[in-house]
Every structure is written in structure tokens, then in C-alpha cells.
């Protein structure tokens, strides 16, 4: 699907990968982009993207992706602003709450389990709500097609919409990431299910699995951790830049022949 002239929504767009994706969508001529983030910085982000492309393309929405009313409002506003339904959705907001699944507390003489509250929080932000943002786009496209009395999508029609979910190499399982790894692995099933259901209406849903990307999220690693423990596992020998992941996301949107998960991991081997 062409990005040019489409209305898009990107979550987690104030930072790292989301910011790079929103910027590249703007550079590729998207008509309007909802820049969604819990950080108040999203106002400044949208302004910076607009300065860069020399137009009023980016619209800031400051809020929590877990709030259903906020999500509905973003889609309604973007449809009004763009004069068209949202056809690109990249729910990139994500969090880490890393800890061992079970850790021995020697002082207490007991092994402690990873907190269930953290597990639920990570599943909510990294799995449940990205899927709901993608589903919200599907809903409006299905409603619009129904209003036009359109039935099953035909290959002679253009692709109607595309969502790209942000997975991770950690979806293969990773030490210290029980909640994050589960959330990211489940996105494969979500993307595939939405793709199969969505193609009846001409919509695609895909997932990209980045390796270690140079963003504030990876900066949460202990100092020197990448150089000491991870670099040797990465064939490319360096962190991936967020712009490289954004280019992979744009490729997934633009190329309808790609349906499966895309590994943008710089040749990273699973950690032992
Ligand atoms: N950085 C990496 O190495 C890496 C690797 C693989 C996958 N990913 C995934 O890519 C995506 C982007 O990661 P990043 O590295 O750019 O992270 P980042 O921390 O730089 O940016 C994440 C953004 O999401 C926002 N956010 C978090 N919770 C939110 C909420 N509840 N509501 C709204 N916004 C919220 C944050 O404010 C932040 O701006 C995430 O889904 C992450 O899991 C990152």
C-alpha cells in the first residue's frame, strides 16, 4: 500500500522507533499522522516533524494507549483531520519490566516469583493494547466498506489498510524478560489472525522483530552490557538505528507480498 496521502496513527511516537516511524511516514508524504504518546513530549515531537517536512502533517495526542476512550478519540479525530479513515496503524508504544522469572532471595531463604502485577502491565502495554489499536483501525475500515455496500475485497482493489506490530528478538525467549518475551511472541499470533481476518476486507497486519536498537529503551541496559554481553551475538557488530527499523516498517506497509514476520535483528543469535 502506498504511504503517500494516507492517514496514519503511530503510538510511542515521542521516542526511539516510534519517532523514527512517524518521521519517515511524514517524509513519504502521509496526509496526516497521529503522534500518540503518554509523554507530554509528543507536542514537541509533532512540531519537530512538521518543521522537518514543512507542513501540518503530525498531530499530537498525549495519553495512555491502555485507555479505550482515548484510543477511540484519536481515531475519530484523525479521521476528521485527515478527511479519510486511518489506513496505517503502528502501535509501537512499549515498556520493559525486566527481572528473572524466579530469583533466590538469600536473606529470606526463599525463591521469589516475578511480580504478577508487572507481568500484567507488560502484557497490557506490549500485547493487548497494540492489538486493540490495530483492531480499532480495522473496525472503521470495515464500517466504511459496509456503508458503501462493499463485500469481500477483490485483488483488483487497492489494499485498504495495514498495521505493523513491534515484536522483538526477545520473542524467541530471553533471560530476565519473562513478561516481555511472552508479550512479543504472542504478537506473531495476533498479526497472523488479524491478517487472515482482515484480508476479507483488504487489510493486512504484520509484525517486525527488531534486535537491539539504539533508543532510550535499550539505554536501560546496564552500562557496558551491550558491548560486553551482546555485541558478539550480533553479526552486524553494532546496535541497529531506529531509522533502520522505521525503513523496515515502511517496507512492510508498502509491499503487500510480505505477510509474515520480518526479522530486523542484524543477525542476532539467541542468547544461551
Ligand atoms: N529498543 C530496542 O532495542 C527494541 C528492540 C525490539 C523491540 N522494541 C520495541 O519497539 C517499540 C519501541 O521501542 P523503543 O526502543 O523506541 O522504546 P522507547 O522507550 O524509546 O519508546 C517507547 C515510547 O512508548 C511510550 N509509551 C510507553 N508506555 C506508554 C503508554 N502506556 N501509553 C502511551 N505511550 C507509552 C513511551 O513514553 C516512549 O515514548 C517497543 O514496542 C519495543 O518493545 C525495541
Would you state the pLDDT for residue 272? 55
pLDDT at position 104 over 70: yes
Would you state the pLDDT for residue 132? 98
CA of 26 from ligand 1 middle (Å) equals 19
Residue 216 buriedness (CB in 10 A; 0-12 / 13-18 / 19+): exposed
Is the pTM for the entire model greater than 0.95?
A: yes
Would you state the pLDDT for residue 269? 81
Domains detected in the chain = 7-95+124-264 (3.40.50.720)
**pLDDT tens for each residue of 133-191:** 999 999 999 999 999 999 999 999 999 999 999 999 999 999 999 999 999 999 999 99
**pLDDT tens for each residue of 16-54:** 999 999 999 999 999 999 999 999 999 999 999 999 999
Residue range 231-237: average pLDDT? 94
Going by alpha carbons, the residue nearest to atom 32 of ligand 1 is 64
Selection from 129, 144, 115, 7 nearest residue 68 by Cα: 129
Going by alpha carbons, the residue nearest to atom 21 of ligand 1 is 15
Give me the chain's average pLDDT, please: 97
**pLDDT tens for each residue of 61-91:** 999 999 999 999 999 999 999 999 999 999 9
Selection from 87, 227, 217 nearest residue 145 by Cα: 87
Question: How far separated are the first and last CA of the chain, in Å rounded?
Answer: 39
Best of 9, 11, 12, 230 to mutate for ligand 1, by most ligand atoms within 8 A of CB? 12
CA of 94 from ligand 1 middle (Å) equals 4
> Does the beta carbon of 38 lie inside 6 Å of ligand 1?
yes
Would you state the pLDDT for residue 260? 84
CA of 254 from ligand 1 middle (Å) equals 23
Residue range 192-217: average pLDDT? 98
Amino acid at each position: 500500500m502506498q504511504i503517500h496521502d494516507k492517514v496514519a496513527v503511530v503510538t510511542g511516537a515521542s521516542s526511539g522507533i516510534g519517532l523514527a516511524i512517524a518521521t519517515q511516514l511524514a517524509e513519504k508524504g502521509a496526509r496526516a499522522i497521529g503522534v500518540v504518546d503518554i509523554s507530554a513530549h509528543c507536542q514537541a515531537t509533532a512540531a519537530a516533524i512538521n518543521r522537518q517536512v514543512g507542513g501540518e502533517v503530525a498531530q499530537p495526542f498525549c495519553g495512555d494507549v491502555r485507555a479505550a476512550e482515548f484510543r477511540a478519540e484519536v481515531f475519530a479525530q484523525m479521521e476528521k483531520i485527515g478527511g479519510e479513515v486511518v489506513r496505517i496503524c503502528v502501535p509501537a508504544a512499549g515498556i520493559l519490566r525486566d527481572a528473572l522469572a524466579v530469583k533466590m532471595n538469600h536473606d529470606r531463604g526463599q525463591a521469589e516469583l516475578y511480580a504478577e502485577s508487572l507481568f500484567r502491565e507488560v502484557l497490557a502495554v506490549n500485547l493487548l493494547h497494540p492489538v486493540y489499536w490495530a483492531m480499532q483501525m480495522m473496525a472503521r475500515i470495515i464500517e466504511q466498506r459496509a456503508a458503501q455496500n462493499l463485500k469481500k475485497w477483490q485483488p483488483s482493489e487497492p489494499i485498504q489498510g495495514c498495521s505493523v506490530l513491534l515484536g522483538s528478538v526477545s520473542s524467541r525467549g530471553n533471560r530476565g524478560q519473562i513478561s516481555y518475551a511472552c508479550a512479543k511472541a504472542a504478537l506473531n499470533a495476533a498479526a497472523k489472525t488479524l491478517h487472515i481476518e482482515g484480508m476479507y476486507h483488504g487489510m493486512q497486519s504484520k509484525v517486525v522483530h527488531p534486535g537491539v536498537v539504539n533508543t532510550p529503551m535499550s539505554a536501560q541496559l546496564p552500562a557496558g552490557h551491550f558491548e560486553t554481553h551482546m555485541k558478539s551475538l550480533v553479526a552486524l557488530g553494532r546496535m541497529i538505528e531506529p531509522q533502520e527499523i522505521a525503513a523496515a516498517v515502511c517496507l512492510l506497509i508498502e509491499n503487500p507480498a510480505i505477510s509474515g514476520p520480518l526479522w530486523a535483528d542484524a543477525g542476532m543469535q539467541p542468547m544461551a
